[in-house]
Amino acid sequence: MAEKIKWYPSPAKLNLFLHINGRYENGYHQLQSLFQLLDYGDDIGFVVNHKNEINIAEQISGVPEHENLVYRAAIALKPFAAEKSGCTIYINKRLPLGGGIGGGSSNAATVLLVLNQLWGCNLDTFALADIGLALGADVPIFVHGNTAFAEGVGEVLLPTTTPEKWYLVATPNVAISTKAIFTSVDLPRNTPKIDFKTYRFEETHNDCQTLVEKTHKEVANLLQWLVHYAPSRMTGTGASVFAVFDAKENADKVLHLLPECYTGFVAKGVNLSGLHIALGMQHS
């Protein structure tokens, strides 16, 4: 009989703000951000084997298996598992690729946390976050699983709690390369550091937004439309943007009005990742 697939959530995040404070010698950027976890994302399924085989059941279009962060995360964890450990991994993709909502990074974190349990590796979340950081700057936030302020390249995390808000997340049909934004000469890199204790959404911004609005008119147009309804901003390096609402019904109303050329969803901001709840991890 075929083994049952065990499914786990892989939540999305928003960068409620993103300030670029400088640049490290290796080209990576020193940033400050507030990573807001959402109750919406992909689902990742697992069937463990003892045949030393790691594979992905169905490929993501345009992403070769060996470049898929899901595959790369499993390979990175394998040295810590028993010799013949393997798995088949299923991906139920809902999050847009390259949206700035962390889809690939979150998928990698789900694989690290779940296989750590299923393979019995017994690594703590700090060790898993270290492995994750080598896969992407956004992986550690999903490994630790708390909404958090971030510094460094995004890996120095200060968990926080945010008031319950509803987010309409909308994405134009364009792909934006994170690398292209971070290597642009037009990216501002000198925002002074803020004190997280005095954070207010209205007093922050996303340093990538003006540049992306110039290079991708679709993002500028979407933001212009959305801001009529609620405070709106771009997340990460785009292409997704979000609008903030106090009530779900208001976010739903605007989602229904969203022009057909955009995709969108409504999600609640949460302080603890749904994955950590599913795995019975109360704190990281």
Ligand X SMILES: Nc1ncnc2c1ncn2[C@@H]1O[C@H](COP(=O)(O)OP(=O)(O)OP(=O)(O)O)[C@@H](O)[C@H]1O
Ligand Y SMILES: C[C@](O)(CO)[C@H](O)COP(=O)(O)OP(=O)(O)OC[C@H]1O[C@@H](n2ccc(N)nc2=O)[C@H](O)[C@@H]1O
Residues that bind ligand Y (CB under 6 A): 15, 18, 27-29, 31, 33, 100, 105, 136-138, 153-154, 178-179, 182, 236-237
- Residue with nearest beta carbon to ligand X: 104
Nearer to ligand X, 107 or 204 (CB): 107
In the bound state with ligand X, the residue whose beta carbon lies nearer, of 102 and 145, is 102
Pairing of strands 86-92, 54-56: parallel
Of the pair 90, 229, the CB lying nearest ligand X is at 90
> If binding is defined by CB under 6 A, does position 69 make contact with ligand X?
yes
96 labeled binding residue: yes
Report whether 103 belongs to an annotated binding site.
yes
Site for ligand X in 199-238 (CB under 6 A): 236-237
Residue with the CB atom nearest ligand Y in the bound state = 136
Is 152 marked as a binding-site residue?
no
Nearest Cα neighbor of 14 from 128, 166, 214 is 166
Nearer to ligand X (CB atom), residue 84 or residue 179? 179
The item of ligand Y, ligand X, none sharing an interface with residue 101, based on CB under 5 to 8 Å by kind, is ligand X
Of 13, 42, 165, 207, the catalytic one is 13
Q: Is 248 a catalytic residue?
A: no
Q: Which residue has the tokens 């954070």?
A: 199
Residues 136-155 that bind ligand X (CB under 6 A): 136, 138
Joined tokens for residue 45: 């399924």
What gap in Å lies between CA 77 and CA 132, rounded to an integer?
A: 9
Binding partner selected for residue 98 from ligand Y, ligand X, none, CB under the kind-specific 5 to 8 Å limit: ligand X
Out of 78, 138, 165, 207, which one is annotated catalytic? 138
Q: How far is CA 172 from CA 98, 122, 251, in A?
A: 11, 41, 18
Question: Pick from ligand Y, ligand X, none: which does 153 bind, CB < 5 to 8 A by kind?
Answer: ligand Y
174 makes contact with ligand X (CB under 6 A): no
Instruction: Decide if 193 is catalytic.
Output: no
Min dist CB 284 to ligand X, Å, is 19
Residue 107 in the binding site for ligand X (CB under 6 A) = yes
Please report, as a single letter, which amino acid is at residue 209: Q
CA dihedral 13, 154, 235, 278 (to 10 degrees): 0
Query: Residues forming the annotated binding site for ATP?
Result: 96-106
Catalytic center residues: 13, 138
Query: Residues forming the annotated binding site?
Result: 96-106
